[in-house]
Structure 1
């Protein structure tokens, strides 16, 4: 009997252990399924050749330059439609001056907030929703996603992009492309290449070495191309002495050659100045194809108006013009636009779904930077809110601006979530002290065409310090498209929430994070420096005549004619930091940022353990499997972003201290453990060798690093690499 009882007890213990083991689910980092056009490129090219054979040279030339600012001419007799091109990455920008526009479009959270979600699946949903609104609005081509790397925090268009790390940007961009194009809307990768600031972008000459180009600034474009992107837009700036859109090296050699891009290459609006170079560069479409009042003084430099004369003079060939026209025609054929309408009004019924995706994006992308036991706030606390963007929604400006509908202000969202809210633009000492918590809303309005200041105004900093001195339970909400200086008050306030630009209903997400209804899970896709002088590009704005350096008026940098002034002296902007961008720079130079790349707080707590590698001796091109566990050690359901970095312990060339090569966002119930599996390839350990024009690994030791921020590595294991 005793033996029988013993057997039963042992069996129960074994079953219990077995059941516990089964509860640990293994989750892998996903790979995206590339977009395949409805009609193969081979068939589309063949049909385009048939059409070209029936066109006059004048008809071909009409195709290779834009019309009416935002359109590409069609060929009615061949059922090739006129194409409408619309901005931008964070939603449909409604151009009120044009007829036939959508009555409304969803204002999604800005792309840098989307990057803060570290969620590729959500990125695909986000892009899919925007693509559906494009279809509803008869938009054939979305002029996005933007993917220029965050090099300097002053860049006025950082809010349109996906942060400082090429690996993170690549994984999100590939999902954006697939999500967008699965709706039948063309995605346009922009701006190729090295358009990393807005300060007089048209007369900036970026000096960049080949290795830096390949390791930092090209990867996101390659990821988008590999995911099936159908269009690419060249940038405004010069790259190593030549404007990008007319650079044969960039367009023909790199983009169409090395990256094997088969789609349509267009210029940005008024960004090329030599029609001969443009035609011979490999660019297919010059936009907008003609001058407007602001550019008339620079003469007739347009492809459409010059091509026939240049052909007659023997300065360009009909073959070059044919190549351009062929890619314009084949785009429509490959997307099936000769067989179906661009416009599909059935998507108008999906706007409520799009609002939910916008809200979910804000919930996952708002980043909690600091919390000294002040958050979450119970609903019955007395709360004072003050500052800017309380009654109006902060958003980025320029071609990417989306106004939205059903807009929810911060004040309205907080009033809905809390019972006792007081708003005061300029609160008295009594108002500050009698409330349990003070929320100060600050921020910037970032804009295409000029860069912003990193520093806030002295008045704003003084206000924050004064309020905090009277009420220690002060929370700052930051509304901005990139990092700002927080050093004057970072140590004084109890909480900081980086809300970015939350979109039309993202303030609801903000209010829910403040109340605890939503557990924050956003992680920074950038490093936030203590002062701008710490930045790798700190001296990029030259000390030139005041006429050109601009003045700050009401928070906006104002220049003579802004960035359209082609008389502004060319400025060489040398990327002296090379591959050391963002956290790569701060760690290698031993400069501690205020907040590190990948950082973000949660109301939950997490534990990492059990790092295992499939081998510790990697040989040749074999892959490495990495597994580890993440446990939610709290009783609050929350999401954590596990980050995998690689460190080359000893290298013959300068390499960063570490480089992100894997990440996975996981949602865990209280007490739950999940096993994460990631696979590394030989490319992940490589650097770009400018001598051999290839990616190479040096034999030696590497560290596999696992953590939840670039400055918080929790697990580590060494491997060696060798060749047979």
Structure 2
């Protein structure tokens, strides 16, 4: 019906005189999009053009009613479709039909090292968005994990640009297959949250292009993303939502991006820069999108009346305006004006299955001494579950990714359901955040507690002594100054006295299992005192079921860490060089944060300083064992326009079916410039039955041998010898083979 109404309005709008009418080209979806864009653009008035490039409500922009173009609706992601808010308020609209499936956070998706799951994730999220009438999902996020204090790391895909690039492309393709635009964010260098509107990043061109831009570039050139969101912070003293270098030069000129650039909410600061420096659509919060002020004041936005006044008085021509409108129209024809879009589906069992499969594949078994895991279901009679994170809902809070879910299975309930013949007891252990509300969504949980810290520990220890297993669910939550938008963590240690609880429980029971719920690494001073550690992430609606699957062995863990897990903050370059969080200028308005570590982020830094992390990038254990052997190359000499394929045999040498991730790193043996010892350039996940073996092939080309050359402002590779390093984590690469680039 919506398509019919759009068509009727558009045809009526095209009537030039009584008895005469011509179907406009823009309405003919058999015509190329560019013809339709130009036809529609020629029919629009100045007010109509200005109307489509700025918000009309918190999450929508105006269409062109006279031409039959509906309003354009965005919605926060990237882990699920956010509940609807009031037209001009952040609080809930009070609907009862806007619950969703919460998919695992993107750190978990990255930990799967499985692009096929990223595709399923994107398709499922796109179907939910379509059913809710959303035209753009504000995600995925691909900012690099530079410091474990970043409150928003849980929304991103880890520290390695190749991993993030590989995982973001199928997510975008799956989402956009539903006619819903992805909006990759936050472009660029938004690597910490504290003072995010004031941070001016000072960085070398090489580090920018090698570390912080590749995932965005892949999203544009390989994922063909339709939308991109500017970041709050500054680069070269310009805010990134209207940044000449990042938007006009790199994104639109060099990468040929043909989609729409939207501001983060309140990310625009000036009309002239918004007009001239690449911003296409302005979204925001108050009078001008940033400052507190009048309600329903969208005509006061920088790209609204101030822009119109500048055009009318001759300060601006319509050249920049027409380019912005073309990009918006292109997005319309891909989404709201796409007659082939399906209706989508909401909270389907297929979506829950996708969420559970991603979680099962992304949960990381970090440590498993004496094979404490999986829980021996046949012998266990009593299991004690401890920790607030075993019962606390984690889908509410954390900032713009906060969701209202149809259901969320807690770890405690998941274990009880998975172990019907076992007595599963619970003790609180510690008290963290008891609020359970965000923007009007409330969990409905009563997490109040009258016992003090000492009594909580004593009660947990008393039960632990008589349990067959003790499983502690701790870590972080989505409160301010933890894993949450707007602020960074204040320290690396676990909050809420958890270290004392863990020490006491580990002493009371040898079968102690620690499950860390977070999107970040944390300090583990007690690591040598406990046998088993699991990284459980924020994994959404199916959290409890997925964690129970892994803990009981129903699912064999196969996740790999998408970031390096340091022992202390000084294991990370940003902290070792004391460059985070930067220095205030004399006027106290801007913070200059210099990325002195350059290209040495994560394992690149730890390799260069010979630091042994707590857990390495790419690390992840299994309940079975694998053997990698017989590495060979398709050629000894490869040319710049050629490719080289590496083949390795992988065998499941254990007694359980499982999956291993073969990881390929490249070492430049004789570079003329400083290069990391190794860099991830390929990976493949392989599923094997007990005793089964397969050959895995990974192909690379000249891009894998290249570095960004600042002298020529471009990518460069050099003739000479390289070494391919192959294994199953960045610190376990037993196989190697040399080849030459000619």
TM-score (norm 2): 0.86
The aligned counterpart of 2:659 is 639
Question: What does residue range 154-193 of structure 1 map to in structure 2 within 5 Å?
Answer: 154-193=149-188
Alignment partners' CA distance in 2, 1:670 and 1:577: 44
- For residue 508 of structure 1, report the CA deviation from its aligned partner: 0.9
Residue 376 of structure 1: aligned partner: 374
Q: 1:202 aligns to what SS in structure 2?
A: coil
Tell whether the 8 Å contact from 2:193 to 2:488 is kept in structure 1 after alignment: yes
1:424 and 2:423 correspond: no
Kindly indicate whether the alpha-carbon contact (under 8 Å) linking 1:102 and 1:136 is maintained by their aligned counterparts in 2: no
Q: Taking structure 1 as reference, are residues 280 and 40 closer, same or farther at Cα in structure 2, changes over 3 Å only?
A: farther
1:483 is matched with 521
Q: Is the 8 A contact 2:288 2:302 kept in 1?
A: no
Taking a change above 3 Å as real, the CA distance of residues 341 and 448 of structure 1, as seen in their structure-2 partners, is farther
Give the whole-Å Cα distance in 1 for the aligned partners of 2:582 and 2:174: 44
Deviation at 1:287, TM superposition (A): 1.1
Structure 2 residue corresponding to 1:460, chosen from 471, 495, 498:
498
Aligned partner (choices 696, 709, 723) of residue 676 of structure 1: 696
Bigger drift between 310-319 and 66-75 goes to: 310-319
Aligned to 1:596: 616
Change in 2 beyond 3 A, CA 1:296/1:429 = closer
CA distance, structure 2, for counterparts of residue 52 and residue 229 of structure 1: 22
- Say which of 36, 55, 60 aligns to 1:66: 55
User: Using a 3 Å threshold, how does the CA distance of structure 1 residues 214 and 65 change in structure 2: closer, same or farther?
Assistant: same
Alignment of 1:570-581 (within 5 A): 570-581=590-601
Distance 1:652 1:162 in 2: 31
Instruction: Please state whether the residue corresponding to 1:400 is helix, strand or coil.
Output: coil
Deviation of residue 513 (structure 1)? 1.2
Q: For the structure 1 residues 101 and 616, does the alpha-carbon distance in structure 2 shift closer, same or farther, using more than 3 Å as the test?
A: farther
Instruction: Tell me, in whole angstroms, the C-alpha distance in 2 between the residues paired with 1:92 and 1:134.
Output: 6
SS in 2 for 1:439: strand
- Paired residue secondary structure (1:491): helix
- Match of 1:410? 411
- Which residue number in structure 1 is paired with residue 438 of structure 2? none
Distance 1:72 1:279 in 2: 17
**Aligned residue for 1:19?**
none
Q: 1:697 aligns with which of 717, 739, 742?
A: 717
Residues 1:250 and 2:251 are matched in the alignment: no
Residue 305 of structure 1: how far off its partner (Å): 2.4
Structure 2: give runs of 5+ residues left out of the alignment: 1-26, 86-91, 429-455, 478-482
- Structure-2 separation of matches of 1:378 and 1:217: 44
**1:284-295 to 2 correspondences below 5 Å:** 284-288=280-284, 291=287, 295=291
One of 499, 510, 520 as aligned partner of 2:557:
520
How far 1:315 moved relative to its partner?
2.5
1:240 corresponds, among 236, 239, 247, to: 236
Q: Which residue of 1 aligns with 2:6?
A: none
RMSD of Structure 2 on Structure 1 (CA): 2.3
Partners of 2:204 and 2:350 in 1: how far apart?
45
Superposed, 1:499-538 pairs within 5 Å as 499-538=536-575
Q: Distance in 2 between matches of 1:365 and 1:685?
A: 29
Structure-2 change in CA distance of 1:657 and 1:164 (3 Å):
same
**Distance (Å, rounded) in 2 between the aligned partners of 1:540 and 1:414:** 43
Q: Which residue of 1 aligns with 2:324?
A: 324
Contact 2:101 2:407 in 1 (8 A): no
Query: Residue 266 of structure 2 aligns to a residue in which SS?
Result: coil
Aligned-residue offset at 1:100: 6.5
Using the alignment, how far apart are the partners of 2:160 and 2:588 within structure 1?
Answer: 31
1:274 equivalent to 2:270? Answer: yes
- The residue number in structure 2 matching 1:437 is 469
The verdict on how the C-alpha distance between 1:339 and 1:391 changes in structure 2, with shifts beyond 3 A counting, is closer
Q: Which residue of 1 aligns with 2:225?
A: 229
Q: Following superposition of structure 1 onto structure 2, how do residues 610-629 of structure 1 map, counting pairs within 5 Å?
A: 610-629=630-649
Whole-angstrom distance in 2 between the partners of 1:669 and 1:447: 40
Q: What is the alpha-carbon distance in structure 2 between the residues aligned to residue 340 and residue 41 of structure 1? A: 11
Match of 2:447 in 1: none
Verify the 8 A CA contact 1:39 1:334 in the aligned structure 2. Answer: no
Indicate conservation of the 8 Å contact 2:103/2:540, yes or no: yes
CA distance in 2, matches of 1:261, 1:308: 26
Deviation at 1:698, TM superposition (A): 1.4
Deviation, 1:222, is 1.3
Q: Count residues with an aligned counterpart.
A: 661
Partners of 1:203 and 1:568 within 8 A in 2: no
Give secondary structure in 2 for the equivalent of 1:504: helix
Deviation at 1:289, TM superposition (A): 7.9
CA distance change for structure 1 residues 709 and 501 in 2, over 3 Å: closer, same or farther?
same
The residue that corresponds to 1:555 in the other structure is none
Query: How far is 1:412 from its partner?
Result: 0.8
Cα drift, residue 290 of structure 1: 5.4
Give the unaligned 5+ runs of structure 1. 1-37, 549-566
Decide which of 83, 90, 96 is 2:72's aligned counterpart.
83
Shift of 1:294: 7.0
Moved more, 588-597 or 536-545: 536-545
Report deviation, 1:176: 0.4
Q: Is the 8 A contact 1:126 1:358 kept in 2?
A: yes
Report the CA distance between 1:262 and its aligned residue.
Answer: 0.6
How far is the alpha carbon of 1:482 from its aligned partner? Answer: 1.2
1:93 aligns with 2:94: no
Change in 2 beyond 3 A, CA 1:505/1:652: same
Q: Kindly state the Cα deviation for residue 48 of structure 1 after the two structures are TM-superposed.
A: 2.3
The corresponding residue for 2:387 is 387
Q: Check 1:236–1:143 CA distance in 2 against 1; reply closer, same or farther (3 A cut).
A: same
